[in-house]
Amino acid sequence: MSSPFTPKRILVAAYPKMKPAFVEAEAMSAFFKEKGIASAFGSLYDEELRKRVKGGEFDLLVAVGGDGTMLRAGHLCAPSGVPILGVNLGRIGFLIQIERGEWRDYFVKLLSGESWIEQRMMLRAEHSRAGEKLHSSLALNEVVVGRGQYLRPVQLNVFVDQRELTRYVADGLIAATATGSTAYALAAGGPILPPDLRNILLVPIAPHLSVDRTVVLSEGAAVNVFAQSENAIFSVDGQPPIPLMEDDLVSISAADVTAQFVRFGDPGYFYRNVTMHLNENSLGQL
């Protein structure tokens, strides 16, 4: 657990397609101002606010929405080293510790220095063709290389640290962080990893006569995925897919930046959060 964290310049950013989030965001910003803290609020997609985050004007971003909002906030804030505090207005909230009706109590704790910063590994995904780098992006949850609009499985040759691992014939392959182990990787049958681990998970999606088990790589390992099918695509954290050509390469490794989440209490919050959501799901309450 890191040392206590007390912010002085706060941006409250709401998911623009969730109208209640703006009402809550405005109330949160007003709360901070009443406490004498410099605060702004607006849309997470507002370009001017995004420039201010990248320019170092804020030392905390409060993300109001769901897990998708936290992913977008992570992409924005990690390169600038800005911590993120999530307030859940979404459906599940694996990444978020604070529910909608609890934020005032938690904000008091925040301003009293009763919080800490959790570091979460991100991935760097690079798309290359014939030795030329075409695209590079960060992932907080996962990188997926899989089939596109056609129902045919794809063939993927996978290397770990330049050594051949296996060839998959499958709907796709998920390369996930510990954070992503509770997202798509979980739905595909992968294990749940503690959030502080810096291992990459390789989880095949509907493999056909291929390795059908998750592989947990050593910390620091790098993955090369060669597409051997013309109908393959790759996607980062559920963003719009990018088409791949045969023999295209997707390289995946730990990024040189981390997502920083503001947390309260002991690290056991993670297991309580996960088991709560899984129990709710088993009872059909989601």
Which positions are catalytic? 67
* SS3 per-residue string spanning the chain: CCCCCCCCEEEEEECCCCHHHHHHHHHHHHHHHHCCCEEEEEECCCHHHHHHHHCCCCCEEEEEECHHHHHHHHHHHHHHCCCEEEEECCCCCCCCCEEHHHHHHHHHHHHCCCEEEEEEEEEEEEEEECCEEEEEEEECCEEEEEECCCCCCEEEEEEECCEEEEEEEECEEEEECCHHHHCHHHHCCCCCCCCCCCCCEEEEECCCCCCCCCEECCCCCCEEEEECCCCEEEEECCCCCEECCCCCEEEEEEEEEEEEEEEECCCCHHHHHHHHHHHHHHCCCC
Residue 158 backbone phi and psi in degrees, to 5: -120, 130
